[in-house]
Amino acid sequence: MGISSFADLISPMTPETFFSRHQGRRWVHIPGAADKFRDVMSWPRLQALLDMTGIWSSETMVVKDATRTVPPQAYCTPETDRRNQQVLQPDPSKVMELVRAGCSLGLNRLDTLDAGLRAVGAALEDALAGKAQANLYYSRRSNQAFGVHSDSHDVFALHCEGEKEWHLYEGVDPDPINHPAFKKLPLEERRRRAGGVAETLVMKPGDLLYIPRGHYHDALCRTDDCVHVAYGVTQVIGMDLLTLLMNRAPADAAFRRALPHPEAEDYDSALAAQLADLGDRLKAMASDAESRAFLRQYQTEHFRTRRGGYGFPVTGPTAQEQAQAARARANAGNARSPGTAKPLPAQARAAIMGAVKPR
Ligand SMILES: [Fe+2]
């Protein structure tokens, strides 16, 4: 069963129910048929991706021993990648040795690598006007790769193999973002923020779990060989307006002007007046037609991931054939209505005449 739209992905829930009750508010577990995500991820698909040796590096393949990240040197060797750059590339025999010993595997940024993965990424981006990135997590029984945490993006977890127990906690960080203030919190602090478990659920193949950003959660394998693909979706947020204003402000001379000299007698009042004026200008700029149009275009056209788009074998006429056809159409048009043909410029006429003139 292929997934070609957001409605397919969250079926049997409707998009109306999802957007009115869950988006940004409350997690939801949507059980599905065991083969629902068969075109997105399966053992043969995982194997095929992993065997594309040259696409992996220590950044895109992460090995964890419980919650501890295994140093890349333990499973990678220096190789030259496809861009002719030196990278640490995972050595399959070392990775398999660690996996057999109980380590888990994280594969990052999979959403452009395969038709099924691309389709889900595109469906999420269209529905949520955001960017989607897919990471895959493989783990063994009772191996918890992440302690309790919240994410700075909405999560859509597609469960593909095995069974995994998820805990959703009462605690919520309101709208966290990818910023030091929200990252690398110590486990004790995360536990404190998470509070008590609000719901425990078991994910089976074909199940989908949506977790809004900021909601604390963790997960634990209940069977050997668990696989889920997690799509993280980020959207354009208020902070992005600041970047836009930074880029627009230099066009206004007021933002290029120096602040008053700190030793000036009327420094406080002059500074207050200048800052108030800049604030007024920023306020007007923030919501004027140019900012609104820019942000709308950014949301609808630019804040997207490029996925796919090639078409081989090439069908249809070549550029040369198209040009010939256009010329033929033009000639046919001229033949039908000779009166509309433009006379050739004198120079062209002379050249043609010279070419055909008897020597
Ligand atoms: Fe998470």
CA of 357 to the centre of ligand 1 (A): 82
Classify burial at 299, counting beta carbons within 10 Å of its beta carbon; exposed 0-12, middle 13-18, buried 19 or more.
middle
Look up residue 54 and give its amino acid. G
DSSP conformational letter for 19: I
- pLDDT in the model for residue 357: 34
Dig out the tokens for 146 from the structure: 């992440």
Asked if 48 and 56 count as a contact pair (C-beta separation under 8 A), the reply is no
- Are residues 101 and 93 in contact, defined by beta-carbon separation less than 8 angstroms? no
Instruction: Please give the Cα distance from 219 to 278 (Å, whole number).
Output: 49
Burial letters 138-163, b for 16+ CB under 10 A, else e: bbbeebbbbebbbbbbbbbbbbbbbb
Q: How far is the CA of 145 from the centre of ligand 1 (A)?
A: 10
Q: Tens digit of pLDDT for each residue in 17-47?
A: 999 999 999 999 999 999 999 999 999 999 9
Domain boundaries, the chain: 6-235, 237-359
CA of 150 to the centre of ligand 1 (A): 6
92 and 271 Cβ atoms separated by less than 8 Å? no
Per-residue model confidence (pLDDT) at position 145: 66
Collapsed DSSP state (helix, strand, coil) of residue 136: strand
What is residue 166's three-state secondary structure?
strand
Task: For 306-356, give the DSSP string.
Answer: ------SS--S--HHHHHHHHHHHHHHHHHH-GGGSPPPPHHHHHHHHHHH
Query: How close is the Cα of 218 to the center of ligand 1, in Å?
Result: 7
CA of 53 to the centre of ligand 1 (A): 27
How remote is the CA of residue 57 from the centroid of ligand 1, in Å? 22
DSSP 3-state assignment of 241? Answer: helix
Centre of ligand 1 from the C-alpha of residue 296, in Å: 29
Q: pLDDT tens for residues 185-209? A: 899 999 999 999 999 999 999 999 9
How far apart are alpha carbons 31 and 202 in whole angstroms? 10
Calculate the alpha carbon distances from 179 to 47, 151, 158, 176, 187 in Å: 35, 11, 26, 8, 18
At the fourth CATH level, which superfamily is domain 6-235? Cupin (2.60.120.650)
In this structure, the strands spanning 28-30 and 164-172 are: unpaired
Rg (CA), the chain: 29
Residue 180's pLDDT is what? 85
CA distance 221 to 145: 10
Closest CA to 223 of 145, 140, 167: 140
Hey, what amino acid is at 26?
R
Nearest by Cα to 157 from 234, 232, 218, 230? 230
Span from the CA of 157 to the centroid of ligand 1 (angstroms): 9
Q: Which segments in the chain show pLDDT lower than 50?
A: 338-359
